[in-house]
Amino acid sequence: MNKKQRKMLFRIIIAAVFLVLLNFIPVTGTAGFLLYLIPYLVVGYDILWKALKGIKNHQVFDENFLMAVATIGAIALALYEKSSDYTEAIAVMLFYQIGEWFQSYAVGKSRRNISELMDIRPDYANIEKDGRLEKTDPDEVETGSVIVVQPGEKVPIDGIVEEGESSLNTSALTGESLPRDVEKGDEIISGCINMTGVLKIRTTKEFGESTVSKILDLVENASSRKSKSEDFISRFARIYTPAVCCAALALAFLPPLVRMLGMGMAAEWGTWIYRALTFLVISCPCALVISIPLSFFAGIGGAGNAGVLVKGSNYLETLSQTKIMVFDKTGTLTQGVFEVNGIHHSEMENEKLIEYAALAESASSHPISKSLQRAYGKEIDRSRVSDIREISGNGIIAKVDGREIAIGNDKLMKHMGISFINCHSVGTILHMAVDHKYAGHIVISDVVKPHSKEAVQELKKAGIRKTVMLTGDAKKVAEQVAEDLGLDGVYSELLPADKVEKVEELMKNKPEKEKLAFVGDGMNDAPVLRRADIGIAMGAMGSDAAIEAADVVLMDDDPMQISKAIKISRKCLRIVYQNIVFAIGIKVICLVLGAVGIASMWLAIFADVGVMILAVLNAIRALFVKKL
């Protein structure tokens, strides 16, 4: 509870105690009026002041104006009737302030929860100088500096581990509780918490460009992008409030005038003015105006806690309407890491063939060379390799332990006049010859992520009607991956511009109400992420351009996060629609009852404050995300 909330609670308690005491003290006349005025002003002076400011600034029709008119009108009615019963007017103001305090506390709590869940902003960075660690503002650390992160500290800036091994707690970023192990040479992103060993990290970005800064910026700016539901509520309130004020005036004056002038009956001004005042209290649209933005705010916070960053409530609403999911392949559904998947027709032991291949390719930095070195799994002894010749577009010929090793595609084998065996597997095929004799071939291919197939199945369970993959890879490779994952369609051998064209074609042929989402991670995906109804970027390993262009960022590169994001968005929208229907439904019923004289001022208090509290409680549910 902050200082302002504590002050408000103190005012509520003072006014409530005063009101209770006055009910036991028989005071009437001017003295009674002045005594009752004390709790009224204690609890309601700020509402009256806001109403006056609204009138002065030509923004009359808001909840403060409604409450001021209703309560002052109730006091004036009591004075007119000389009843000395001011309890209702004070009670209306008191309960309204209780509702406002509850709403303020609920919003504050949800903001604190989000702040705690996203508590990834580092306070400092350690830089070693003269054998001592100095705490420095992360903004002042230049790219290429070496920072030291001790156990229990947050990683302040993105970089590469120069020295040390440790486990990282990435839960604040990804929602994943399993620690991630890092060692020398590994990339590391800011916002993680170092759990075990001391790490020395060479920074690769400035603090303002680091992952942690971008995440915080996304969260802080998310509320500025409003959804259609929020815009509807804003427009609704602007039209609704003046309309109910006019209706209340009509209720106060028309029936008495009709009774008096048209029917020759007593006007009963007091009865109809009381009904009009009750009508005003009931009509206050607080539940809608407060609970709908709060629902989206809580939804964005809950998604952030689960490792899904949504850049605005408009994107949350669009995500909930998604029916077509289009994927990039490499880095999205596959790991983007080539691995040895098979060795065929080898005349020697597989381990020996891999050893020769890794040594022959040791001078290359190509991903295929790296995959061979990983498959070999031992330190490369470059002294064993000599006479390396690269034949462009064909492969490499080198001497390993004095033996001539040729490794490359079928063109290399033809160039050397060596007969080879074709491979029917999908992937990159490396034919090998040892001392001018064919020795078999190695199959290298991109590895499908462990949860990709399950993720596609979960999306279909979540109501995704069509799943499509777009890739620049060869047709054979693309079709194999699509078949393995159970995708509905695949387009291969595409350039970035071709991907945009395909997405536009898919969008043109879909029903208008259905939304299309594109999921990608590379720089070449940025144009498509922008073009789709909603762009989803794989954030942990995705390029800066993709993250910038996307509307939703997944901080874990696990494709299972996509279905989680959709389920979170749909839960949030369900809560929003529940609050809209509930608040408007109760209001309409109570307004009718108030107009015909069945609803008292006490029912009006429930209709206003009670509905607001229930709607706020329902909205806060969006903050909590179960393991969906």
Q: What is the DSSP string of 499-513?
A: HHHHHHHHHHHS-TT
User: CB of 338 within 8 A of CB of 367?
Assistant: yes
Active-site annotation holder among 137, 158, 186, 328: 328
Give catalytic status of residue 608 as yes or no.
Answer: no
Cβ-based neighbours of 373, under 8 Å, separated by 6 or more: 358, 361, 362, 380
d(CA 308, CA 303): 5
In 281-436, beta strands by DSSP E: 308-310, 322-328, 334-344, 385-391, 395-400, 403-408, 428-434
Long-range contacts, 319-322 (Cβ 8 Å, 24+): 319/515, 319/517, 319/534, 319/551, 319/552, 319/565, 319/566, 319/569, 320/566, 320/569, 320/570, 320/572, 320/573, 321/513, 321/514, 321/515, 322/464, 322/514, 322/515, 322/516, 322/517, 322/533, 322/534, 322/566
Q: Across the beta sheet with 132-136, what order do the strands follow?
A: 132-136, 125-129, 146-149, 199-203, 159-163, 187-188
- Nearest alpha-carbon partner for 92 in 62, 51, 63, 59: 63
In 291-367, beta strands by DSSP E: 308-310, 322-328, 334-344
| CB-side neighbour CA atoms (13 Å) of 81 | 15
**Count of other CB atoms within 10 angstroms of residue 181:** 11
- Cite the DSSP H helix spans in 451-559: 452-461, 475-485, 496-509, 526-531, 544-549
Q: In the numeric block, which tokens belong to residue 47?
A: 């509402």
Q: In the numeric block, which tokens belong to residue 19?
A: 């009101």
Catalytic residues: 328
